[in-house]
Amino acid sequence: MEEFIDGKTEDGNREMAPNEKFSKLLEELKNCSVTEQKMKIEEMNRLIDEMNKEEIEHVYTTELFNKIYQMIEEEKLTMENAILLLKHMGYCNILKSIYVEDFFFSSLSGRFEEMIVDEEQKKEGNDEKLFIDLVECYLLLGNRMSVDLHHICVPCLIKVAFKKEEDEETQKEVEMALLALSNAGYEAVEQKLHLNEIKTIIEYHQEHHNLTRLAYQLAWSYLICKSNNYKNLEDVVVNELHFAREAAKELEELSKCVDWKRKEERTGKTERKTMDIISRWIGFIHHFFYRFHLENEENVGLFSCLVNVFRASRDNHDEIGKKCVILFYESANNLTVEVDDLLKSGAIDVILEELHRPTLNKGLAFESLKFFYRLSLRFKGKEDDEIKEAKRKELKRKMLEKMEEKGVEDNIINFQKSLKFLYAKDDGFFHV
């Protein structure tokens, strides 16, 4: 086996990229003992952690999964070791928000489906650990699932997620089950039961703090994203479980675990995972504002927390900063979000600051200008109700004052002129 020294192989060639090393190690598994296989798979899992999106997409191919299937069938790779590899591949797939569907076109997918059904039909005589592992691998590697498989897989994962022990091993089991569950579809037949169970999981954590931070975010994600009847959940999510307050608290605690002054490429594995969870929260909060329309004073606190994350991230972590601005833009576009909440939270101030920075990021600047373009549309027309109309005028006055104070009104006017074809008759803020 070729050795690597100081970034180069012993013959002086360049060091292999993580995805190339991964493929090489996979080939070597065929000639290893069970123990040696496990050691190599642990190394392969570490390589997956290092891979970027493009490298993962290059590795997660139908050919790869077919090769693993063949190795299992020929007894050159144990099922236990295959699961050790596949589960980690799926874990990274979801956590990094990478969607590769090649698994479902492979022989391995069909084999797992058969094994899942077989284990479920054994009922009391089944291998419970194998059953859970198969279900998790299957869902972590993709989100295509028949109705019949849904009825088998989701109850299995809910049962695992319902574990309340606070030891580290149980917390990891619950986290993995919720991660797999987050990638499952939903069926209206079982929806009410499952959503009630997830609600119970969230309530128990709020009192006992038994979940990991990722697991808690995943439980919320399932509760909000898997329902097709938002009205029945609105009061529960907004006023009973206090989503906005909880999301703000989680983002604040997660942010303390990140050295925002360090460049993104220099962050370690643990810090990268934390940032992945922060990124997931930001993306997920959009679903909350889009689907739930009850007003709550806690929204201001959530926006304030997002403002702090944006300020901390915009120098060295562009993607998170951009996600924050896009969320602000989408909120400005959402009639159920009060403009006053954006004003009180400092969201408008921080975006004005961004436009005024000497080292302006073009991507963030464009999203920031879009934010004000959308706000301008919120102030078009007049309200029939006198009180509402007075409030609209007062908010508009405050907005103009802030823009004049920051000296960016000309930039925004020019941007609006360049997009004038999107307007019906007037020019938003600056229409007389």
* 285 falls within a domain: yes
Say yes or no to pLDDT of 1 above 50: no
Q: For helices 107-121 and 147-161, give the axis angle rounded to 10 degrees.
A: 70
* 73 falls within a domain: no
Residue 9 three-state SS: strand
Tell me how many helices (H) and strands (E) the chain has.
21, 2
* 12 falls within a domain: no
Q: Which of 4-8, 132-136, 356-360 has the lowest mean pLDDT?
A: 4-8
Per-residue pLDDT band for 411 (boundaries 50, 70, 90) equals low
Kindly report, residue by residue over 98-120, the tens digit of the pLDDT.
888 899 999 999 999 999 999 99
Per-residue pLDDT band for 6 (boundaries 50, 70, 90) equals very low
What local confidence, expressed as pLDDT, does residue 67 receive?
Answer: 96
Say yes or no to pLDDT of 229 above 80: no
- Measured between alpha carbons, how far is residue 302 from residues 113, 238, 308, 313, 314 in Å? 42, 12, 10, 17, 18
Closest C-alpha among 44, 180, 29, 22 to residue 112? 180
- State the Cα–Cα distance between residues 87 and 398, nearest whole angstrom: 52
- State the Cα–Cα distance between residues 228 and 143, nearest whole angstrom: 18
Closest C-alpha among 316, 312, 311 to residue 263? 316
Kindly report, residue by residue over 178-195, the tens digit of the pLDDT.
999 988 865 544 556 688
Per-residue pLDDT band for 196 (boundaries 50, 70, 90) equals confident
Q: Cβ distance 255 to 312 under 8 Å?
A: yes
What would the two tokens of residue 233 be? 């959940």
Q: Cβ distance 264 to 316 under 8 Å?
A: yes
What local confidence, expressed as pLDDT, does residue 301 receive?
Answer: 96
Kindly report, residue by residue over 51-93, the tens digit of the pLDDT.
888 899 999 999 999 999 999 999 999 999 999 999 999 999 8
Long-range interactions of 312-319: CB distance < 8 A, separation 24+: 312/255, 312/258, 312/260, 313/260, 314/354, 314/361, 314/364, 315/260, 315/261, 316/260, 316/261, 316/262, 316/263, 316/264, 317/260, 317/264, 317/275, 318/264, 318/361, 318/363, 318/364, 319/264, 319/279
Q: Cβ distance 80 to 94 under 8 Å?
A: no
What local confidence, expressed as pLDDT, does residue 388 receive?
Answer: 81
User: What residues pair up with 4 in beta bridges, in sequence order?
Assistant: 9
Give the range with max mean pLDDT: 168-177, 189-198, 344-353.
168-177
* 301 falls within a domain: yes
* 126 falls within a domain: no
The count of domains in the chain is 1
Q: Which residue has the higher pLDDT, 319 or 169?
A: 169
Containing 287, the helix (H) or strand (E) segment is: helix 269-291
What local confidence, expressed as pLDDT, does residue 14 receive?
Answer: 63
In one-letter notation, the amino acid at residue 20 is E
Q: Residues 213-241: what's their mean pLDDT?
A: 86
What would the two tokens of residue 227 be? 């329902």
* 67 falls within a domain: no
What local confidence, expressed as pLDDT, does residue 417 receive?
Answer: 58
Say yes or no to pLDDT of 354 above 50: yes
Specify the CATH number for the domain of residue 319.
Answer: 1.25.10
* 91 falls within a domain: no
- State the Cα–Cα distance between residues 311 and 324, nearest whole angstrom: 10
Say yes or no to pLDDT of 37 above 60: yes
Say yes or no to pLDDT of 391 above 90: no
* 165 falls within a domain: no
Q: Which of 155-159, 240-244, 263-267 has the lowest mean pLDDT?
A: 263-267
Domain of 406 in residue numbering reads as 229-432
